[in-house]
Amino acid sequence: MTFDPRVGVFPGHCPHCGEVINAATSETGSTLIRPKAGDFSICYACLGLMEFMDGGRLRKIERKDLSPADRELVDRVLRERREMQS
């Protein structure tokens, strides 16, 4: 799969569940903000955490790998996602 500059990620698979990952949005929902190395993402399918590496590739991370501020953000996003599902 090749890098798509429109979405800023290499199409690939979630390292947690294998779901296809082919796009990313910012915490505001904007697709105009491209992810950069060190940014994290949450898989929409399994809610697994991933970190962007150079070139837009993803690697598996755990909640403990995040800063306290990012943990708060993840907790908020996961809470909102659970509310949407119920």
- Taking the C-alpha atoms of residue 38 and residue 52, their distance in angstroms, rounded to an integer, is 6
Cβ neighbours of residue 71 under 8 Å, at least 6 residues apart? 63
Residue 79's SS3 state is helix
Residue 51 in any domain: the answer is yes
Asked whether 80 and 44 are in contact (CB, 8 A), the reply is no
Look at residue 59 in the predicted model and tell me its pLDDT: 92
Q: Does 49 score more than 70 pLDDT?
A: yes
Residue 5 in any domain: the answer is no
Give the CATH number, domain containing residue 54: 2.20.28.160
Q: How confident is the model at residue 22 (pLDDT cuts 50, 70, 90)?
A: confident
55 C-beta neighbours (distance < 10 Å), count: 9
Look up the domain containing 37 and give its range: 12-85
Percent share of the chain, pLDDT over 70: 84
- Please tell me the total count of domains within the chain: 1
